[in-house]
Amino acid sequence: MKNLLLPVLLFAMLLTGCIYVPVPVNPAAPVAGQPVVTTFAVNPAVISAGQNAVLGWVVTGAQAVNIDNGIGPVPLNGTTSIVPSATTTYTLTAVNQSGSTTAAVTVAVVGSMPVQQSGERTAILNIVANESGSLVKSGANYARSNEVCAGDNPQNQASRAFLSFDLTTLPPTAVVKQAVLDLTGYTVIGNPTYSNASWGNMGALEIYQYQYGLAGSLGRVAYEATAPMVGSVKLIDLQGPLAVDVTLDDRGENMVQKLLSTAQGRCQFRLGFFTSTNWDSKADMICLDGAVLKITYSVP
């Protein structure tokens, strides 16, 4: 039993740099041939209203995996950010030709959303996973990955992250007051820091508003295109929340308002470090699969 628990715990710690709480799945021994849910966990298990948590899972032997409460089909292994408005139990169902296996975790939500001014509303948009990813530059080649990571790899090749959010849930007449890109669900590889004086300094993480379209079309143009900057952050202490106000771009324009006024169905970003690589031949990345875009708006 100890040999079984160790890899599960190690995987959980790698997901965010924090420890997930592994949840026992199917106390009875699984039927031969049925899918196995090795890990289904949440971090943190208790949140305040309006905050996000991250689900993480590992499944083997399944033809399809689904998580309820609006998440839908997911890959065999992965993470996803959630922002439940009340205490919610999430059930994962893994299916193959031999049957199905389920596992469940509960996220406790305490308190209530902050009081807003009259008429104000807040939309909390989760990342559109199949429209997001990253590009790693190697000379004249640009390799696409489903991992949403910015930084550099052990070959000192730079990676830029691309995030997509669905705006279609907002009223077309919405008057946007604020947009915050909440990256608190990040995971860290190595040390993508700004704090080193010279060697090892990755510079600031810069955020550009860039409508790149479909993830499958990502390439040189998306990696290098000029775009308005909407924020930057120095990653000195990565032990706490990480949220960036992206309301205005560097031209002074309200970024989300401009997208709504032109009937754009997506709000997309490109993130990369000011210094493409720190030349230390180690992977130094921040991965942002748990990103959330919070938009405060009113309706006339």
Q: How confident is the model at residue 196 (pLDDT cuts 50, 70, 90)?
A: low
Q: 120-298: what fold?
A: Jelly Rolls (2.60.120)
- Minimal CA–CA distance to 58: which of 30, 96, 22? 22
Q: What is the pLDDT of residues 240-263, one digit of tens each?
A: 678 899 999 988 999 999 999 998
Q: Give the pLDDT confidence score for residue 6 in this predicted structure.
A: 40
Domain boundaries, the chain: 2-110, 120-298
- 3-state secondary structure (DSSP) of residue 194: coil
Residue 74 has pLDDT above 60, yes or no: yes
pLDDT at 294: 92
Strand order in the sheet with 72-74: 46-48, 99-110, 88-96, 64-67, 72-74
* C-alpha 37 chain-centroid distance: 22
User: What per-residue confidence (pLDDT) applies to 198?
Assistant: 59
pLDDT category at 197 given cuts 50, 70, 90 is low
Rg (CA), the chain: 20
Dihedral sign, CA of 152, 41, 235, 229? positive
Q: Which of 19-23, 37-41, 166-170, 231-235 has the lowest mean pLDDT?
A: 19-23
Q: What is the DSSP string of 3-62?
A: HHHHHHHHHHHHHHSS--------SSPPPTTS-EEEEEEEESSEEETT--EEEEEEEES-
Check residue 171 and give its pLDDT: 87
Quick one: pLDDT band at residue 150, thresholds 50, 70, 90? very high
Q: How far apart are CA 252 and CA 259, in angstroms?
A: 14
CB-CB contact of 228 with 248 (8 Å): no
Residue (of 183, 163, 185, 179) closest to 270 by Cα position: 163
pLDDT of residue 169: 86
Residue 137 scores a pLDDT above 90: yes
Residue-wise pLDDT for 90-121, tens only, equals 999 999 999 999 999 999 988 765 555 557 88
Give residue 103's identity as a one-letter amino acid code.
A
Query: Residue written as tokens 């924090």?
Result: 18
Q: What is the pLDDT of residue 2?
A: 41
Q: Which CATH number fits domain 2-110: 3.40.50.2000, 2.60.40.10, 3.40.50.300, 3.30.70.920?
A: 2.60.40.10
Per the model's pLDDT, the better-predicted residue between 20 and 165 turns out to be 165
**Cis peptide bond upstream of 44, omega within 30:** yes
pLDDT at residue 27 in the model: 37
Q: How far apart are CA 231 and CA 248, in angstroms?
A: 8
